[in-house]
A = this chain, B = another copy of it.
Amino acid sequence: MTYLAKPKLHHPDLPKNALGLTRRDYEGTISTLCAGCGHDSISAAIIQACWELAVQPHRVAKLSGIGCSSKTPTYFLDKSHGFNSVHGRMPSVLTGANLANRELLYLGVSGDGDSASIGLGQFAHSMRRGVNMTYIVENNGVYGLTKGQFSATADRGSKSKRGAVNTDEGIDLACLAMQLGASYVARSFSGDKHQLVPLIKGALTHPGAAFIDVVSPCVAFNNHEGSTRSYDYVRHHNEAVNSLDVITMHKEITAEYPPGSLQEVRQHDGSVLRLRKLADDYDSSSRIAAMSYVQSHYARGEIVTGLLYVEPDAIDLHEHLGTTMRPLNELGDKELCPGSAALAQFNASLR
């Protein structure tokens, strides 16, 4: 019952992370989504990932567009500033925010309608620019908030609740992200917390454009037979290619694993992505191979999940732009204003 206030007192036994915070410190207000909505599981995974990484909640900026999915930032990290912007345009707002202060963590949450329909352009361009962010699409194949119309990720041939068949080609945002230059691309399922939490952690530590496509069933409008985004369908067609373990620089890396089955990817910030292969022939270091693999499995009806591609030496937008390391929003008159002497010279050059 969504109207009941959450109990305020924390249970004293709740486990604490490196910052001494409990999971509760990463929560938000109570969700107003439908009971059973996949999006709520993703919020829970975000909370878990941030807690495990011991992220400082107020150093996260969470941004979204419009839709049920885009509402979710209210439901986690209530110590963070949030921005529920306009439909399909979160990427530009996030990009701008990121430009203003490169020190925060940027978490963009969006829906498939928000990112693949109206927002496809902004989605694509934010990937090409290498904005340092974690961009999560909560992908249910429909517009939840406007009551169940197909979105642009709906698979061709899939059926709506009312029986209509989708005739447009569905967009695979993960493949698109790879093609457009995202340097960390994953896919997961809201029903698979074990897979999802480390993927989010990996994305948060990744120093570039990290994208996660999370299949997230809409129980109100897209969980029926004929849908390719129902819990049942996804459970039966999910093909995980690897499993991930994220080790931050704080932790010492000790254990040794037999080579081959395990791959370690070291990122800029010192964090290590430890990947255990589940599909022998999968190589997450090749963009082209990854795309081929994902697309040919899709042609067979399989949804490939896991860390699809990672480029550990990603260069982000600030590096491209050569921005100062100080957050731009901290610069004051002194750094910014050339002053009257410079102006006099400028005048002189114009006579």
Contacts and interface: CB of A to CB of B under 8 A. Distances in A.
Given A121-B121, A175-B179, A169 B292 contact: no
Copies in the complex: 2
A228 to B, nearest CB: 16
Interface stretch (A31-39, A61-69, A125-133, A274-282): A125-133
Interface in A15-38: none
Interface residues of A, number: 34
Contact of A292 (B167, B291, B299, B320): B291
A179 B295 CA distance: 9
A218 interface: no
A221 to B, nearest CB: 21
A199 B125 CA distance: 29
Nearest to A289: B292
A176 interface: yes
A168 B120 contact: no
Nearest to A294: B288
A216 to B, nearest CB: 21
Nearest to A291: B291
A181 B295 CA distance: 12
A97 interface: no
Contacts of A119: 121
Nearest to A128: B169
Contacts of A181: 156, 168-169
A339 B288 CA distance: 58
A2 interface: no
B179 A128 contact: no
A321 B166 CA distance: 10
A156 to B, nearest CB: 8
A176 B123 CA distance: 14
Contacts of A117: 125
Contacts of A44: none
Contacts of A320: 167-168
Interface string A169-211: 1111001100111000000000000000000000000000000
Contacts of A169: 127-130, 180-181
Given A120-B125, A128-B171, A168-B181, 14 more contacts: A120-B121, A125-B152, A125-B168, A128-B169, A129-B168, A129-B169, A130-B169, A168-B320, A169-B181, A171-B180, A172-B179, A287-B295, A288-B299, A291-B292
20 contacts: A118-B121, A119-B121, A120-B121, A120-B124, A120-B125, A121-B121, A124-B171, A125-B152, A125-B168, A128-B171, A129-B169, A171-B180, A172-B179, A175-B179, A176-B176, A179-B295, A287-B295, A288-B292, A291-B291, A291-B295
